Structure 1
Amino acid sequence: MTTPSLEALLRIGPFHSALRAAIRRRGLTLERLRLRLAQQDVAVALSTLSDWQQGRVRPVSPKSLKAVAVLEELLEVPSRSLLALLEHAGPNGWPDVIPGMMPGFNTNDLEIISRHDRVFVNAERRASRVHVRMVVRARQDGVDRFHAHYFCDDSVRTQQVRHEPIRNCRVGRTARNETERVTVDELLFDRPLAADETWVFEFVVHDPTRLDSIEYAHGVRCFLAQSLIEVHFSPEALPVDPHVYLQDWQEDEPHRTMDLALDHTNSVHHFETNVSVNWVGVRWRWA
């Protein structure tokens, strides 16, 4: 996988990732940015700037949108580039175009409380099946879907990748982008949720890849309270050097953070809390 540049994020979003990348390119701390906004007679709390760049809160009020316009000047990005990202995400979060190589849509209507991915690597060294269990909380009334996205490799066409609903969801609309190798499926809940209501659902991703798999990662759209990734290997194809890595948008290479060891079931796992980095994953090699 590769990660988008700031220029790509300004085209495809999501807003919070583009804002964070722009702030980091300018080398400004949030406090310094807050002071520069104040010099322009725009008062924004430090906590609000943090929430905007983490995706916890989306600027929607006229006062907030004015602040975003000033941010564009301070961060030296094209005029209305950040504002356009806010405008182009519809009320249900489905954007006008497939968002390319971003980890999710800029909906901000679901809080991901917990995500548990179980990856099954077969005897041919291919991660052809992923079982995902998610716990989410609605940020507002009426939320009734989750946008499941998956990045495949060059050995398959996106039409061959399939999301199979397992529990408390069903497939709605589907979109594919062969250029970016991404597939997106709406997973519709049984009913609309009330604000602050939680929902548990499960689905399986079927990927008929024909290449040796060497990693699995999921993207964090804004903030993830609990992340658990398990990778189960066939006894006929055991890896070497399994380890955890993290990577943010602006980073060209991932950070190796922890070595892992196979357990008695030929599996490894990584559990992490309060995740705000854009990618968290497990990587391995073949002897």
Structure 2
Amino acid sequence: MLHATQHADLPGGELDSALRGGPFHVALRAAIAARGLPLQRVQHHLSRHGVKVGVTSLSYWQQGARRPQRPESLRAVRALEEILQLPDESLIRLLAEPDRHPGSGRRSARSYRSLVEASAVLGRLRAELGRPADGGLHTLGHHECVRIGARRELAAREAHHIVRAHRDGVDGFLVVHQGDPGCAPRDMRVRALENCRTGRVRFDQETGVLVAELLFGTRLRAGDTFLFRYAVEDGTAETAREYLRGFDAPGGQYALQVRFDAAALPVRCHRFTQHSPAAPRGGRHELPVTAPHHCVHVVEPRIRPGIVGIAWDWQR
């Protein structure tokens, strides 16, 4: 017999709309109302799932006064999806989208859905090029510089990689770039700068994902180290508000610098981290824009699986 998850009825489409667009506290409040459960009953159901959350915390969550962030709180959110008969990840993904700061002019960050769709497209493009997800290289160092242009657009980025092969026969690297919404990947250009040349290029217009082969001109043996450098010229989208880098495996040092055109300086910048695209953002730390270079940076001494990024707000 097939078993399907039942979902709560949607009063007037309010819950459906809240789950699609958020924010988290509105969706949670609508879901609790749809089930007709007082917070004390919600707390009781959570305790039966082995999760302890106070009624006060639940009240704060649905009012937007606080957001679940700790691991135990995230366990509670996943349990709430089951208790309230909601689709998997429907609440947790909303936590991946930071609250809008009043007066910041900031739109929401990349949505969980867009990141998942880009991941699926990346898998397809890798397959077209015959490049597996494990490229056979371990990162010893990855230094990246992003340039934001006078139109507030992501104009270009340059990357310098120091890698070690963990198997014989590795002959290249797959560049992955996702432009901002509205970008034109067919107009982007990948330039090989040092110890490599550009091979085949593939892209997906809908998600803005571009992949390109970098060919080393030699085959590495297991244990060999290699240095290479490349750039991606973009400049095809409108206003950029963040840059992030995801890592699937642990590695060495990662440094990210964002440099702004003197004619387009943000009002504030901050770094952030995420354990996964579905997880809430944490590790927030304000970054002052240095003069006269107009740049900010973060350095991670050791790469861990997850996401590291820098976001910024523009004057409206």
Normalising by structure 2, what TM-score?
0.56
Residue 208 of structure 1 aligns with an amino acid whose one-letter code is G
Residue correspondence of structure 1 range 1-287 to structure 2 within 5 A? 97-98=124-125, 106-249=133-276, 251-264=278-291, 265-287=293-315
Would the aligned equivalents of 1:169 and 1:190 in 2 still touch at CA under 8 Å? yes
- DSSP-derived class of the 2:186 partner: helix
Residue 257 of structure 1 aligns with an amino acid whose one-letter code is R
- The whole-number CA distance in structure 2 between the counterparts of 1:260 and 1:280 is 14
> Relative to total residues, which structure has the larger strand share, 1 or 2?
1
In the TM superposition, residue 250 of structure 1 has moved relative to its aligned partner by 5.0
Would the aligned equivalents of 1:246 and 1:254 in 2 still touch at CA under 8 Å? yes
In the TM superposition, residue 254 of structure 1 has moved relative to its aligned partner by 2.3
Would the aligned equivalents of 2:185 and 2:209 in 1 still touch at CA under 8 Å? yes
Instruction: Name the residue aligned to 2:34.
Output: none
Residue 285 of structure 1 aligns with an amino acid whose one-letter code is D
Residue 312 of structure 2 aligns with an amino acid whose one-letter code is W
CA shift in 2, pair 1:123/1:180, >3 Å: closer
Would the aligned equivalents of 1:245 and 1:281 in 2 still touch at CA under 8 Å? yes
Q: CA RMSD in A?
A: 2.2
Residue 283 of structure 1 aligns with an amino acid whose one-letter code is A
Instruction: Name the residue aligned to 2:10.
Output: none
- The whole-number CA distance in structure 2 between the counterparts of 1:209 and 1:254 is 27
In the TM superposition, residue 116 of structure 1 has moved relative to its aligned partner by 0.7
Instruction: Name the residue aligned to 1:33.
Output: none
- DSSP-derived class of the 1:205 partner: strand
Residue 169 of structure 1 aligns with an amino acid whose one-letter code is C
In the TM superposition, residue 249 of structure 1 has moved relative to its aligned partner by 2.5
Residue 272 of structure 1 aligns with an amino acid whose one-letter code is E
Residues paired across the two proteins, number: 191
Would the aligned equivalents of 1:246 and 1:277 in 2 still touch at CA under 8 Å? no
In the TM superposition, residue 154 of structure 1 has moved relative to its aligned partner by 3.2
> Relative to total residues, which structure has the larger helix share, 1 or 2?
2
In the TM superposition, residue 252 of structure 1 has moved relative to its aligned partner by 4.7
CA shift in 2, pair 1:254/1:96, >3 Å: closer
- The whole-number CA distance in structure 2 between the counterparts of 1:156 and 1:237 is 19
- DSSP-derived class of the 2:219 partner: strand
- The whole-number CA distance in structure 1 between the counterparts of 2:244 and 2:215 is 23
Deviations 1:30-87 (A, max 9, x none): xxxxxxxxxxxxxxxxxxxxxxxxxxxxxxxxxxxxxxxxxxxxxxxxxxxxxxxxxx
Residue 148 of structure 1 aligns with an amino acid whose one-letter code is V
- The whole-number CA distance in structure 1 between the counterparts of 2:312 and 2:208 is 22
Q: Please list every run of 5 or more consecutive structure 1 residues that lacks an aligned counterpart in the other structure.
A: 1-26, 28-94
Normalising by structure 1, what TM-score?
0.62
Deviations 1:77-114 (A, max 9, x none): xxxxxxxxxxxxxxxxxx972269xxx95215100111
Give the structure with higher Rg (CA). 2
Residue 172 of structure 2 aligns with an amino acid whose one-letter code is R
Would the aligned equivalents of 2:180 and 2:240 in 1 still touch at CA under 8 Å? no
